[in-house]
Amino acid sequence: MAQLRLVLVNTSHPGNLGAAARAAKTMGLRQLCFVAPKVFPHPDATAMASGADDLLAQAMLRDSLATATDDCGVAYAISARRRGIRLAELTPREFAAHALSQARSAPVAVVFGNERVGLSNEEIERCQYLVRIPSDADYGSLNLAAAVQVISYELRLAAMQRPDVPKPPPPAPLADLERFFEHQARVLEQIGFYGSKSPTKINRRLRRLYQRALPDAQEISILRGIL
Residue 194 is part of a domain; what is its CATH number?
Answer: 1.10.8.590
Domain-ending residue, one of 130, 161, 192: 161
pLDDT band of 80, cuts 50, 70, 90: confident
Q: Could you give the number of structural domains in the chain? A: 2
Domain that holds residue 198: 174-226
Indicate whether 149 and 219 sit together in one domain. no
Predicted TM-score (pTM) of the model is 0.87
Give residue-wise pLDDT tens across range 168-220.
789 999 999 999 999 999 999 999 999 999 999 999 999 989 998 999 999 99
CATH of the domain at 13: 3.40.1280.10
Question: Do 82 and 154 sit in the same domain of this protein?
Answer: yes
Residue pair 66/126 in contact (Cβ under 8 Å)? The answer is: yes
Query: Residue 82 above 70 pLDDT?
Result: no
4 forms bridges with which residues in the sheet?
Answer: 108
Core vs surface per residue 115-151: b (16+ CB within 10 A) or e: beebbeeebbbbbbbbbbbeeeeeeeebebbebbbbb
Please state, in angstroms and rounded to a whole number, the distance separating the CA atoms of residues 150 and 132: 11
Say how many Å lie between the first and final Cα of the chain, rounded.
Answer: 37
